[in-house]
Structure 1
Amino acid sequence: MSGGVPGIDVPDRRGRTGLDREGLDLTGNPGVRVREVELLSSSWYVLRRTTFDYLRADGSWDTQERETYDRGNGATVLLYDAGRGTVLLTRQFRYPVYVNGHPDGMLLETAAGLLDDDDPETAIRREAAEETGCEIGEVRHVFDVYMSPGSVTERVHFFAAPYSTAHRTSGGGGVAGEGEDIEVVELPFAKALDMISTGEIADAKTIMLLQWAALSGPFSGRDR
């Protein structure tokens, strides 16, 4: 291979360059001075090691290093039927949790996906259709959350949307070409809440949306 480093001065497999420049132009926090960004991997997502000076509370400067994993931002949606008291979730295999102690790696989750080049609402409509087969109508933005701020840059946009049998235009299941093999699971809302305490639902975004739905969302004030 002739000259150049993929992701830096020649395109990587996703056509990106300049990935070692991320963060060098940040000026929002005068107590942080980014000194160097090293690209460790851009096989698909991006792993960087950044060296920066940090102004401590005692007035001294401390040089620190952090590795950050950049997979882009994402969106997730809780699909609910308030009249029937149900929610529509997905079940799929997640290797990272399987290798970290989950019995079989099969997680119950709200529909979700990366934004790619779309805005959050467009992205979550796409993901809901692909994963659950629902062409959703009204969408409510709930909040935006950094899910693992110690190492992962991703910010996830949380939504909620009503669904009914009329919204089910396909069987869902995800995109086979992307390796997805997703089961659509409809549950009574009360049962889904109980499954948090039993550990049957162990996905953070799903727990957050279910608890929001109980506290201030479509199921708030109900006798569960």
Structure 2
Amino acid sequence: MEERVKIIEERSLSEGWFNLKEVIYDYTWFNGRVQRQSREVAKKGNYAGILLYNKEKRTVILTRQFRMPSYLNDTSDGFIVEACAGMLDDDAPEECAKREALEETGFKVKNIEKAFEAYTSPGTLSELAHLYVGAYEDDMKVSKGGGADEDEDIEVLEISFTQALEMIKTGEIKDAKTIMLLQYAQINELLN
């Protein structure tokens, strides 16, 4: 089948943390019908995230920080427990994951493993998450963490793996990348 999407026009609606665009395009259905559609798309760069785990202690390192979008949802106080993550900028995904682990948690991890890639909200966001897991030991802690940017106020949490899984059930962890990484750790028996 020929190309199924033909972009007709892109209009910039906002340029800030995200570039919000309206994209007008012709879409060819599976049955051959062509329909003109329009979608608002938040274009943002890709990011990398990492779940740090200690098999011997059966613990994970997570962070807690304020997130304005979740605060505006009316179901949250805005403080989100999550695996550390950050924008790729000009780094390769693996290097970004290591950088973010150091900046946010203070752990300098060496060997990490790619878990998977995922779009967390493909109906709205263009960003692709490159997600990793990495074993940590106490002697890898080289700084207090908490973030490198002056607008970051990050609390570092070391919690048991069992507690982290329970926090998904209770709703204390609602961040998609974190839930996926914890479930990846559980399925692949990283802490058994």
Which bin holds the TM-score, normalised by the shorter protein? over 0.9
In the other structure, the counterpart of 2:170 is 198
Give the % identical residues: 44
2: distance between equivalents of 1:108 and 1:52? 38
Higher strand share: 2
| C-alpha spacing 1:183/1:200, structure 2 compared with 1 (3 Å) | same
Q: Secondary structure at the match of 1:122?
A: helix
Q: Secondary structure at the match of 1:194?
A: helix
Alpha-carbon shift at residue 102 of structure 1 (Å): 3.2
| C-alpha spacing 1:51/1:191, structure 2 compared with 1 (3 Å) | same
Tell me which structure has the larger Cα radius of gyration. Answer: 1
In the other structure, the counterpart of 1:31 is 4
* Aligned partner of 2:137 among 130, 152, 164: 164
Alpha-carbon shift at residue 176 of structure 1 (Å): 4.0
Bigger relative CO (Cα 8 Å, ≥ 6 apart):
2
Q: Secondary structure at the match of 2:108?
A: coil
1:87 aligns with 2:60: yes
| C-alpha spacing 1:140/1:44, structure 2 compared with 1 (3 Å) | same
2: distance between equivalents of 1:197 and 1:41? 37
Aligned residues: 192
In the other structure, the counterpart of 1:66 is 39
In the other structure, the counterpart of 1:43 is 16
Runs of 4+ in structure 1 over 6 Å off: none
1:1-224 mapped onto 2 (5 Å cutoff): 30-177=3-150, 179-219=151-191, 222=192
- With the length of structure 2 as denominator, give the TM-score of the two structures: 0.96
**Which letter maps to 1:45?**
F
User: Which consecutive unaligned segments of at least 5 residues does structure 2 have?
Assistant: none
Alpha-carbon shift at residue 164 of structure 1 (Å): 1.1
**Which letter maps to 1:158?**
L
RMSD value over aligned CA atoms? Answer: 1.4
